[in-house]
């Protein structure tokens, strides 16, 4: 059986949490490998709704969860999330959750800088969540980050805080924001230490042992390819690499053993925050998609921008993200619409493009090239096999496969974990 890596194939919020939860029944370990608590996964199980930001979705299935070194971890947010899901009946202990000892920590000063910068940008805001993810990644690559393992060394913490505050307090003062006191931060870190350290270990070693033992590992990505810091719609992106290759670097796992790469894409398209969105709808149909799909950010609560499916964008994500098969989610949201559109490419200043170029002005100027298909009068909601789907829904799926040049191997038809049609088991490779 192969391992599976799950990543988003649009701008995030594609329903990865539900898919990972469904796939976790076939896995032994579930691994988060990038991002922070700016990414939210919503899982509906019976009458319980779990909203996860840092915890791997497999914990809901009773599987071991691993937070890899590529994740930036806010200790307060992690402990609050553990307490919240425990109150809902989940078992989260050092026996079920492991945290990379070399993962970077998000401190309160990171969130303060994040918010101060967004305020200073005014109308040119990027649309960050203000949770400190970007500034924490900056400290990581600048080699001044405080990591999980540092919590066990008070002297190391003290020395590193001197360097951090020299940099960040200067920046905060320049932005007109309050600065931070070293002793207050040090006391807070030392208070977190006994609660966080029991989860810490060299997770790369556990993953290598699991690989050698033939265990099935599911890698759970956050955000999506078009929010990748290199390959996305820069600068309106997240601060980490979201492509499948990051699963190796973000966990310490062998790149050759990442297994089948599964991309998640909605049957339409959404985006939270600022940035280009060629297939966005500003009309009644866009509002209808948002209402039917309950399109509000899991973490921020912000309404998502909605539009038609962008095949050119997903095809681009498939190529740069290493995606081998697609899960199409929320097809039931399209039920009853008389006409559907698919973006097949773009015109930019009179020229045709089959992809979204990297330059900001070109992205902003991109206009969609549409292909129109008939909708369907029947319902896809709750379908458990392709035989239960309306004929025009099947035609819509097949046309998208042709345009994105990749197979759709799973289809979700509702919010419940079993509202899923599997055409191919990704764990079979």
Alpha-carbon Rg for the chain in angstroms: 22
Q: Give the domain-ending residue among 210, 243, 260.
A: 260
Are both 290 and 383 inside the same structural domain? yes
Query: Rounded CA gap, 185 and 79, in Å?
Result: 17
Are both 82 and 229 inside the same structural domain? yes
Are both 47 and 62 inside the same structural domain? yes
Check residue 401 and give its pLDDT. 98
Confidence of residue 39 (pLDDT cuts 50, 70, 90): low
Are both 65 and 149 inside the same structural domain? no
Residue 1 reports pLDDT greater than 60: no
Q: Give the domain-ending residue among 196, 216, 239.
A: 196
Are both 275 and 388 inside the same structural domain? yes
Check residue 260 and give its pLDDT. 95
Contact 72, 104 (CB under 8 A): yes
Are both 27 and 154 inside the same structural domain? no
Check residue 298 and give its pLDDT. 61
Contact 241, 234 (CB under 8 A): no
Are both 141 and 54 inside the same structural domain? no
Confidence of residue 96 (pLDDT cuts 50, 70, 90): very high
Specify the pTM: 0.93
CATH number, residue 140 = 1.10.300.10
Are both 240 and 376 inside the same structural domain? no
Provide the number of structural domains found in the chain.
3
What is the total residue count of the chain? 429
Check residue 316 and give its pLDDT. 98
Q: For the chain, what percent of residues have pLDDT higher than 90? A: 76
CATH number, residue 255 = 3.40.440.10
Are both 110 and 229 inside the same structural domain? no
For the chain, the straight-line distance linking the first and the last C-alpha, in angstroms and rounded, comes to: 7
Are both 120 and 157 inside the same structural domain? yes
The values of phi and psi at residue 344, to 5°, are -105, -10
Confidence of residue 415 (pLDDT cuts 50, 70, 90): confident
The values of phi and psi at residue 416, to 5°, are -70, 150
Check residue 257 and give its pLDDT. 92
Read off the tokens for 266: 């909605």
Kindly give, in sequence order, each residue whose CB lies less than 8 Å from that of residue 402, ignoring residues fewer than 6 positions away. none
Residue 416 reports pLDDT greater than 80: no
pLDDT in tens, 132-142: 999 999 999 99
> 283: which DSSP letter?
S
Mean pLDDT in the chain?
A: 92
Instruction: Kindly list the catalytic residues.
Output: 13, 41
Cβ neighbours, 10 Å, residue 159: 12
Helices 311-321 and 391-404, axial angle in degrees (round to 10) = 50
pLDDT in tens, 353-380: 999 999 999 999 999 999 999 999 989 9
Domain that holds residue 87: 4-102+200-260
């Amino acid at each position: 059986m192969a391992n599976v890596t799950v990543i988003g194939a649009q701008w995030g919020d594609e329903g990865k949490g539900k898919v990972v939860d469904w796939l976790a029944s076939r896995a032994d370990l579930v691994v988060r490998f990038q991002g922070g608590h700016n990414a939210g996964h919503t899982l509906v199980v019976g009458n319980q709704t779990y909203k996860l930001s840092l915890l791997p979705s497999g914990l809901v299935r009773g599987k071991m969860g691993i937070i890899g070194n590529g994740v930036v971890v806010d200790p307060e947010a992690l402990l609050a999330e553990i307490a919240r899901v425990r109150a809902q009946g989940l078992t989260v202990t050092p026996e079920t959750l492991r945290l990379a000892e070399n993962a970077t920590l998000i401190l309160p000063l990171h969130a303060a800088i994040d918010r101060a910068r967004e305020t200073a940008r005014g109308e040119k805001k990027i649309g960050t969540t203000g949770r400190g993810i970007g500034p924490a990644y900056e400290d990581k690559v600048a080699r001044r980050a405080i990591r999980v393992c540092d919590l066990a060394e008070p002297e190391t913490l003290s020395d590193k805080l001197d360097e951090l505050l020299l940099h960040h307090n200067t920046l905060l003062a320049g932005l007109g924001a309050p600065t931070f006191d070293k002793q207050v931060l040090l006391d807070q870190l030392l208070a977190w230490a006994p609660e966080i350290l029991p989860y810490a270990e060299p997770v790369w070693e556990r993953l290598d042992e699991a690989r050698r033992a033939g265990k099935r590992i599911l890698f759970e990505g956050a955000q999506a390819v078009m929010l990748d810091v290199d390959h996305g719609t820069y600068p309106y992106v997240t601060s980490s690499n979201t492509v499948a290759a990051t699963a190796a670097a973000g966990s310490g796992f062998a790149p050759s053993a990442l297994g089948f790469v599964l991309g998640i894409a909605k049957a339409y398209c959404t985006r939270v925050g600022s940035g280009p969105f060629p297939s966005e709808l500003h009309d009644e149909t866009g509002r209808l998609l948002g209402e039917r799909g309950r399109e509000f950010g899991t973490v921020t609560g912000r309404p998502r921008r909605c539009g038609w499916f962008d095949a050119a964008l997903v095809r681009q994500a498939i190529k740069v993200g290493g995606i081998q098969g697609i899960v199409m989610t929320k097809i039931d949201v399209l039920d009853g619409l008389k006409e559907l559109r698919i973006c097949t490419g773009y015109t930019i200043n009179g020229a045709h493009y089959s992809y979204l170029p990297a330059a900001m002005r070109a992205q902003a100027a991109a206009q969609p090239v549409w292909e129109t298909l008939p909708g369907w009068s029947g319902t896809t909601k709750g379908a458990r096999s392709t035989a239960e789907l309306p004929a025009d829904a099947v035609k819509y799926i097949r046309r998208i496969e042709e345009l994105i040049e990749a197979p759709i191997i799973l289809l979700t038809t509702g919010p419940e974990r079993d509202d899923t049609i599997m055409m191919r088991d990704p764990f079979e490779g």
